[in-house]
Every structure is written in C-alpha cells, then in structure tokens.
C-alpha cells in the first residue's frame, strides 16, 4: 500500500531520478485515447490547483514536470485550458 504522505526529501529524491529528456508533449492532432466521460471534467477542476503549486518555491525540475504534465493534459482536454481564462 502506498504511503499517504511523503516528505519533501522523499519527493525530491524521486523527482531527481526522473529523466525528462524522454518526455515529450504529444503533437497537435495526435489521436487521444478513449477517456472516461468525466475525465476532462475532473482535470478541469484540478488544473488550477496543480498550477498553484508552481507559486511555491519548488525546485526547477519539479516545476518543469508540472509544465509537462499540464501541457500533456491540456492536449487531451483542450477546454480545460480555457476554463479559467
């Protein structure tokens, strides 16, 4: 069973071992997988919370991973990026 809480040090050690060079953003027009009906609704709700994490003094690599995740998810759920504009 996964832990419910992780220390900053545990998360940082995990993040430092992630190779960002292999991560790419899907090209526009790429065929999206079939998603559960409420998937994008849930992402739309949690997107501003994820973006708010970048306001904290986090290591650059953490913020880079957040950017990659947001860009990937916005590709799957484009309306989410426009929801709070």
The pLDDT tens digits for 37-77 are 788 889 999 999 999 999 999 999 999 999 999 998 998 88
How high is the pLDDT of residue 32?
60
- H-only helix segments in the chain: 8-16, 39-53, 60-76, 78-82
Spatial distance between the Cα atoms of 28 and 36, rounded to a whole number of angstroms: 21
Spatial distance between the Cα atoms of 43 and 74, rounded to a whole number of angstroms: 9
Query: Vertex 73, ends 71 and 78: CA angle to 5°?
Result: 90
Sign of torsion, CA 25 28 76 37?
A: negative
**Segments making up each domain of the chain, as ranges:** 34-85
How high is the pLDDT of residue 83?
79
pTM greater than 0.85:
no
Question: Residue 60: helix, strand or coil by DSSP?
Answer: helix
CB hemisphere CA count around 81 (13 angstroms): 11
């Amino acid at each position: 069973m996964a832990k419910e809480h992780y220390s900053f040090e545990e998360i940082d050690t995990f993040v430092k071992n992630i190779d960002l060079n292999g991560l790419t953003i899907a090209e526009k027009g790429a065929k999206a997988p079939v998603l559960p009906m409420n998937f994008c609704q849930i992402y739309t709700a949690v997107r501003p919370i994820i973006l708010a994490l970048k306001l904290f003094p986090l290591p650059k690599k953490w913020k880079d991973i957040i950017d990659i995740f947001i860009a990937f998810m916005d590709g799957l759920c484009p309306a989410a990026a426009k929801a709070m504009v």
